[in-house]
Amino acid sequence: MKFDTPLALFQHLLSIDENNMEANLPNFINEKHEFYADVTALITAHEENKKQTSFNELIGKQAEQLVEDNAIHELLNTQVGVYKLTKKLGQGGMGAVYLGERNDGQLEQKVAIKFVYPSIVALAGEGFLQKEAQHLANLDHTNIAKIFTVGYTNENIPYMLMEYVDGTPIDQYCEESNLELDARLSLFKKVCDAVQTAHKNMVIHADIKPSNILVDKQGEPKLMDFGIAKRISQNEVSAQKNISAASHNYASPEQVNNENLTTASDIFALGQNLKYLSEDIKLKPLKRNEVQSVIKQCLHQEPDSRPSLTKLMTYLDDIKKDRSLETYSSSLFYTTRKLISRYKALSFSTMTAVILLIAFMFNLVNSNIELEKQSEIAEESLEFLEGSLLQLQAGDINHKTVKELVQSRADEIENVESADVQAKLNYIFGRIAHNIDEFDISMTLAQKAIDFFGKNQKYYSQLRAMTSQAEAIRKKGDVNKAIAIYKEALEIAITHDINTSIPTINNNLGGIYFSLNDYENAYIHFLETISNIDKLERRLDHYGSEAMMYQNFASAAGQLNKYDEAEKYFKLAQQTLNKSSDKNLGQKAELNSQLGFFYLHQEQYDLASEYLTSSLRSTIDLYGKDHLNVAYKSFNLAKTYQGLKQYTKAQPFIEQAEKIFLTKFGEQDYRLAIVRNGLADCLYFQGQNEEALSIIEKTIPVLTGFFGADHTRTTDALESKADIEKAIAKSDSEV
């Protein structure tokens, strides 16, 4: 084989066996050959090359000569217009910034003078800088560093004259000032607002990062360096599109892939910034989740799926004000919950889906998720199930089947590995059982949870389980035991400073006393509740719970004739309920009813009729016109009209109530009797005495039987009867 050049031989050796070139060389030529030295050199060079070559860098360095970019790094102490460049403030992918201090003897003024690399200016084409500067000058916002003008130095290097911001990067500022989440979010929201202004002016920032957000001495964040701001336009030349000095992690996927930027790219960057700003502060798990979910939305791969700025800012407000977030729970949880609350009753299939969900969560739980996450899942599932099952109407679904399902799942809890999660699940299932009226199961499970939590000093969880147990016991009828448990719980809460539980326990205790007509004690505990309402933990429907507590207190106050207090707190309940993002129709109806009853009690019939009418309407909507609740409300409304002496109006409502009571309770029921008395009155005042009499004759025996002959209700009825008979007699005589 003949080789024309050493290179050719080298190439051949390389192709035979790269790793043994030196060894194989003697097979072709010997040391004395003229090529020998050169080939050996090539082999050595190859070995060296395998470690590294520097030709690319050489080329790169040379390329830098193509453009005069480096010139802008040598401008210190030069003069630009009336300013001297006294300090280099920074440099980045787009150019360099200097501090310019005015030295023409006129004013003392500091500005930032920014030089863009000539190569970039050239690349972007003629007029680029002018146009950009114009757009930026149009952005008039407290939190955007202002652009004053654009110019060229004597050497024809373009620059922008900008507002000088003496500040700290926002991440540093937050850390140094030890800012809490709320304060950070406030700052961040200002930045979002600034970005929104930019977007409205067709400018995308495209490089939002902490070092571009300086917080000045007044604590105002200033968004800087719209250096690669791009017009939102589809018609730009591709050359501009390709400029991408975007700094690493803040660049959105489309930016990295050099696709078209949109306002959504800024949202991505904002998400990263929020992540960065919230990463290393301590937050409660719930709050952390809320923040994370917002971040996640912003960081969506698909630009279109990211939230708009308006939405983002609303989310920030929600986090600060502790309102429940639209995005908070996992989509499965929240959507399902909403789905269920749309229906008045759960169909069996929906219920099955719920149970299957529980099963699914079991699988999750038994897989390798860390304990804390498991606990979080457990919390979430509880809330979900509570929410969905509260909607359950007894008899709407095949109760037995559900019971079996719940029971079987509950039995499987023992197979769960972690004792902590077991306890949580026991608690959850205790609640589920409670909601389907299986109080025995509920109590057993609650007890298991209580035992575990108590032993392990997880007081908060223990208290929740005790509450659950007390409720079940109460529903079973052992009121005293329930009270005892609550009192024990209260002690634990006070001893161990579990402040969040104090309002809840007091509220439930108050409820028990109220149902026993012990309004004094009810009042005391409800008062404790609202006095501690700020300690209440913010759960998903916080406003609903808060309103309910006000309602309870107002009801107790009303019973004790503390009318002013009652009215005040009813109103407060109304306001609070309106803040809730949930419709809370049921609760609103209840509140209206309570208010109506309250005014009725004080004989303010006009107000009463207003509230009761509204409440009745909602109740019919929610429960259907044959529901028992409708009966009570109809009756109260009728009484209102009777108070206004509008008997014709009252009558249909009483009849509605009568019909329902008759169906539900039968002829001999005392409630029916009371309603019928009302009807009798109605008829009597409309002059229909005979009908009135026949009705009241039916009611008296029932009332006597139930209340006794001496009871006011009985004696009142007897009086009415007497009046009617007198009236009949009178009209007879007139005839």
Residues that bind other proteins in the complex, under the rule CB under 8 A: 5, 7-8, 10-11, 14-15, 18, 38, 41-43, 45-46, 48-49, 52-53, 55-67, 69, 118-120, 122-123, 125-126, 238-239, 242-244, 248-249, 251, 256-258
Between residues 258 and 310, which has the closer beta carbon with respect to other proteins? 258
CA 677, CA 673: separation in Å to the nearest integer? 6
Between CA 55 and CA 59 the distance in angstroms is: 6
Structure tokens at 41: 């050199």
Answer for the pair 731, 689: CB distance below 8 angstroms, yes or no. Answer: yes
Contact between 430 and 422 under an 8 Å Cβ cutoff? The reply is no
The first and second tokens of residue 248, run together, are 């690493």
Smallest distance, Å, CB 418 to other proteins?
A: 35
Cα–Cα dist 486/405, whole Å: 30
Sign of the CA dihedral with 596 first, then 597, 602, and 603 last: positive
CB of 245 to other proteins, least distance (A): 9
Closest by Cα among 248, 214, 247 to 228: 247
Q: Answer yes or no: are the C-beta atoms of 231 and 135 closer than 8 Å.
A: yes
Q: How far apart are CA 249 and CA 449, in angstroms?
A: 45
Strand order, beta sheet including 158-163: 79-80, 83-91, 95-102, 110-116, 158-163, 147-152
Kindly state the smallest distance separating residue 136's Cβ from other proteins, in Å. Answer: 22
Give the DSSP letter of residue 345: S
Sorted by sequence, the CB contacts under 8 Å of residue 125 that are 6+ apart come out as: 237, 239, 240
Cα 558 to Cα 576: distance, rounded to the nearest angstrom = 19
Q: Would the CA dihedral through 521, 524, 530, 534 be positive or negative?
A: negative
CB of 557 closer than 8 Å to CB of 545? no
Specify the residue, 109 or 249, whose C-beta has the smaller distance to other proteins: 249
Q: What's the rounded Cα separation, in Å, for the pair 735 and 731?
A: 6
- CA–CA separation, 339 vs 722, rounded Å? 56
In angstroms, what is the minimal distance from the CB of 89 to other proteins?
A: 24
Classify 161 as helix, strand or coil.
strand
At CB < 8 A and 24+ separation, what contacts does 12-21 make?
A: 13/39, 13/43, 14/46, 21/46
CA 204 from chain centre, in angstroms, equals: 28
Amino acid at position 224, single letter:
M
CB of 295 to other proteins, least distance (A): 17
Dig out the tokens for 148 from the structure. 């004053």
Q: What number of H helices and E strands is found in the chain?
A: 32, 11
Least distance CB 447 / other proteins (angstroms): 53
User: What one-character-per-residue DSSP string does 550-604 give?
Assistant: HHHHHHHHHHTT-HHHHHHHHHHHHHHHHH-SS--HHHHHHHHHHHHHHHHHTT-
Q: How far apart are CA 55 and CA 447, in angstroms?
A: 76
Minimal distance in Å, beta carbon 261 to other proteins? 12
The Cα–Cα gap between 274 and 184 comes to 9
3-state secondary structure of 340: helix
Q: Please say which residue, 21 or 264, places its beta carbon nearer to other proteins.
A: 21
- Of 55 and 368, which CB lies nearer to other proteins in the complex structure? 55
**Closer CB to other proteins, residue 246 or residue 450?**
246
Report, in Å, the least distance between residue 17 CB and other proteins. Answer: 12
Q: Within 10 Å of residue 473's Cβ, how many Cβ atoms?
A: 22
Element (H, E) at 400: helix 399-412
Cβ proximity to other proteins: between 25 and 385 the closer is 25
* Least spacing, CB of residue 53 vs other proteins, in Å: 6
Sequence-separated contacts (24+) of 631-637 with Cβ below 8 Å = 631/656, 631/657, 631/660, 631/661, 631/664, 631/675, 632/657, 633/593, 634/660, 635/675, 635/678, 636/593, 636/596, 636/597, 636/600, 636/612, 637/596, 637/609, 637/612, 637/613
Q: How far is the CB of 6 from other proteins (least distance, A)?
A: 9
Q: How many residues does the chain have?
A: 735
Comparing CB distances to other proteins, the nearer of 244 and 559 is: 244
Quick check: 406 and 441 in contact, CB under 8 A? yes
Instruction: Give the chain's end-to-end CA distance (angstroms, integer).
Output: 148
3 state SS of 178: coil
Per DSSP, the residues of 702-722 read: HHHHHH-TTSHHHHHHHHHHH
